[in-house]
Structure 1
Amino acid sequence: MTTVATNSHAISPLVTAGEDLFATLSGKPLSDNATKISTGVTSLLDGLFPALAQKVSFDLDGVLTGSTEVLTGLNTAISAAKAKPDVAQTAAITGGA
């Protein structure tokens, strides 16, 4: 019987989270060329994932999932830090001063 390893579903979300973080930090999305390169690298890593996962002595899929969560959290924090609070919220915090 032949067992076929399936590709990770954690690589694409990791790349997307990285792209989103870049866009938040830079204020602009990736260029068309950068997007094409990113898509190519993601496809390559998706194809190599089963071989890579067998070579490491840890849960690679879990590491990728955790890394995605970290990038997503950073993106949320940076977006919140860049956002200007509305006036009503600021007045409530400072006691109307």
Structure 2
Amino acid sequence: MGKEFSCTELLAKAGEIVAERAREEAEVLRDKGEVEERMMAELFRVLRLMEMDLAMVKAAVQEETLGERLEQTKASCRQAILVDLPSEFL
């Protein structure tokens, strides 16, 4: 999340691409039997929340609002990472 983007639209687009890629990779692992359906549902839920947060970032007009929404988006990203990592890495 330390990467700088020139505008909120680029940040939102990058987030959408990352979420889609995470879904694709999770589906491959599920098809191989390496991921439980419960974990898939939780990951997809968190990724959807992250995408909604990014849409709110994109819509922000005031700097203060943008800062608040960026912090919320960072929290969603952290949550997605925690869902995605196996417990032995935590």
TM-score by length of 2: 0.35
Structure number with larger C-alpha Rg:
1
Higher RCO, 1 or 2 (CA under 8 Å, sep at least 6)?
1
Structure with the largest fraction of helix: 2
